[in-house]
Structure 1
Amino acid sequence: MKVLLTGATGLLGVHLAGELVQQGYEVKALYRSLPERIHTLPWFGEVEWVKVAITSPVDIEKAVRGCQAVIHAAARTDPYPTPLAAYYDANVASTEHILAAVKKGSGARLVLVSTASVFRPGSLENPATEESPYAFHQMASGYIASKYEAQQRVLMAVQQGVDAVIVNPTFMLGPYDFKPSSGAVIRYVLQNRAVFYPKEGGKSFVDVRDAARATVNALRWGTTGESYLLANENLPYEQFFPLVAQLSGRKKKLLPIPVSLIRAAGRLGAVGERLVRNGLPINRINAQLITQPNYYSGAKARWVLNLPQTPVRQSIEDAIRWFETGE
């Protein structure tokens, strides 16, 4: 079976390419530009790399031809700017183009990579599941709003006969983070002696290799129209940042920042965005998101998609090794 993979140079995308190759699929990987070190990937030469604009319906239609399945992992993931319009083409329109090509072609099976953030997060005691309500109170985030819109497009297409499954990864960690994306938080700890972090809140973490395996498994085992949260360990920041500092092997000064201070900075950032008409690293919605509990359960994906459960400690260690040695 030949699989079309979008977003193949992102943290999840490179691992998806490797997992697809390992499981015996032919891979056509779409990219906008290739990171400098991507040629060092052990599976690089076994993938057909095609330069394509995912915002071009013509390019997407051509790319889908001859493929029996599509994994759509391409997305703009920056936490800012705030407006949905900044994310629409990359996240929503590209999904519409994929759906149109699938409908027009041979009816390839589609796996959409969404995000756990479209679901309202839970607590440590009661983490969110696929049955949790959508996080409409967080839709002021252009990123979350765009991923929700893309997910809804796919669910509507399922009602029209499209064979599609959705996976919703939480915060992914691991090696080969070329940009870097989520690995930026680890590099931040590595590069700074003083480490500031939110005094409250936390995240759900999953090893990117585990997320890749479950996503590829969804091609065979996922139920059409279903969503699967790819989640493993839920950790408060007061545990996560000391763990990264410890594994860095260097002495760090850990400085928790009160939530009230972060959210005040977020309000100022929101005002600044309106004044400069451009996104800022800290704004009201980002301040809310990074200071709240963001906990999810991966039980459904473990049961249906055989999602592995690599300890987050191992994920951090492997990410640190890659950032420092490239291995």
Structure 2
Amino acid sequence: MLPDTFWKKEKVAGFKRPESDLSLLKGLEDQITWFEGDILDVLSLEEAISKADYVVHTAAMVSFAPKDRNKMLRINVEGTANVVNMCLLYKVKKLCFVSSVAAIGRKFSNGASDTSNLIDEKAQWEESPLNSNYAKSKYQAELEVWRGVAEGLDAVVVNPSIILGEADWYKSSTQLFKYVYDENKYYTGGTINYVDVQDVAEIIYKLLHSDIVNERLSSTEELFLTNSSLRKLLRVLAGKHLLKKYQVFYHKLPGGLKR
């Protein structure tokens, strides 16, 4: 995701679980010093962070299944607290926490065309039935980062929207590619906000080496964000990336679905 000059200039260490899938890092494995452990295992985390100048914290559990609530809160909140504590202990130069636009919270709207509730990095969290357990976990994780800032840590928080890029089609946001590849013809109304993973990686790197500290950055123009209808995105994926015939039919279905 980053240019060759990055790999020639920087020494990179990674923190992973023993069973982590590294297939997307093919060709780069030897350029990364790996530490194995878990963000809930403080001792393994300490070993990984003790010699780091900068830390990028991306580890998190993403789930919308009610049964995963407690596990997700522990990983996302307690795990982030552990990262922050180690960064404070070893006085890292800067922590970049990859949060989510979900951590900014959601409000009720008057429909898909309502733009009165558009949010940016200045928006404040508000309790709402629309906030998922995942959103709550990322918001609480951000509070741990700001707690670290209050204790002397230099940090930045990025809040990307849906991140798209080369990845496993069976996991997370990139399931959208699989959905289109399988020629599903149904989509919901409304808009979708997405950003290229390469843009996210680039801005994180620039933030780490910038004078910007103790601020939050959402997926606005700084992250080259794109906002479009879900229908438009699916048609773009089908026409330009998958090269398979994909046609959306305009027919209202129960529950707000269309085809």
Structures share fold, TM-score greater than 0.5: yes
Aligned residues: 246
Check 1:188–1:221 CA distance in 2 against 1; reply closer, same or farther (3 A cut).
same
Check 1:229–1:138 CA distance in 2 against 1; reply closer, same or farther (3 A cut).
farther
Percent identity for Structure 1 against Structure 2: 22
Question: In 2, Cα distance between the equivalents of 1:158 and 1:146?
Answer: 19
The letter for the 2-side match of 1:250 is K
From 236, 242, 252, the equivalent of 1:243 is: 236
Question: In 2, Cα distance between the equivalents of 1:79 and 1:217?
Answer: 32
Q: After superposition, where does 1:176-191 map in structure 2 within 5 Å? A: 176-177=167-168, 180-191=171-182
**5+ residue gaps in structure 2?**
108-113
- Using CA pairs under 8 Å that are at least 6 residues apart, name the structure with larger relative contact order, 1 or 2: 1
TM-score (ref. length: structure 1): 0.67
The letter for the 1-side match of 2:248 is L
**Alpha-carbon shift at residue 195 of structure 1 (Å):** 2.1
More helix by share: 1
**Alpha-carbon shift at residue 256 of structure 1 (Å):** 6.2
Q: Are 1:151 and 2:142 matched, yes or no?
A: yes
Q: Are 1:223 and 2:208 matched, yes or no?
A: no
TM-score (ref. length: structure 2): 0.83
The answer (yes or no) to whether the contact 2:96–2:158 under 8 Å persists in 1 is yes
Give the aligned CA root-mean-square deviation in angstroms. Answer: 2.9
From 107, 116, 127, the equivalent of 1:136 is: 127
Corresponding residue for residue 294 of structure 1: none
The answer (yes or no) to whether the contact 2:105–2:131 under 8 Å persists in 1 is no
**Alpha-carbon shift at residue 163 of structure 1 (Å):** 1.1
Corresponding residue for residue 167 of structure 1: 158
Partner secondary structure for residue 206 of structure 1: strand
The letter for the 2-side match of 1:105 is Y
From 56, 72, 77, the equivalent of 2:41 is: 56
Corresponding residue for residue 87 of structure 1: 72
Q: Which runs of 4+ in 1 moved over 6 A?
A: none
Corresponding residue for residue 233 of structure 1: 226
Please list the CA deviations of residues 107-154 of structure 1 after superposition, one character each: whole Å capped at 9, or x if unmatched.
441110000112246955874211123252156411100000000111
Please list the CA deviations of residues 251-298 of structure 1 after superposition, one character each: whole Å capped at 9, or x if unmatched.
2242568586169xxxxxxxxxxxxxxxxxxxxxxxxxxx9xxxxxxx
Please list the CA deviations of residues 224-269 of structure 1 after superposition, one character each: whole Å capped at 9, or x if unmatched.
2210013411111121122222232222242568586169xxxxxx
From 118, 124, 127, the equivalent of 2:103 is: 118
Please list the CA deviations of residues 81-128 of structure 1 after superposition, one character each: whole Å capped at 9, or x if unmatched.
376423112211111111111222234411100001122469558742
Corresponding residue for residue 299 of structure 1: none
The answer (yes or no) to whether the contact 1:35–1:178 under 8 Å persists in 2 is no
Please list the CA deviations of residues 185-237 of structure 1 after superposition, one character each: whole Å capped at 9, or x if unmatched.
11111023x32110x11221111000011011111226222100134111111
The answer (yes or no) to whether the contact 1:70–1:110 under 8 Å persists in 2 is yes
The letter for the 1-side match of 2:214 is G
Check 1:34–1:74 CA distance in 2 against 1; reply closer, same or farther (3 A cut).
same
**5+ residue gaps in structure 1?**
1-14, 264-290, 292-327
Question: In 2, Cα distance between the equivalents of 1:126 and 1:24?
Answer: 42
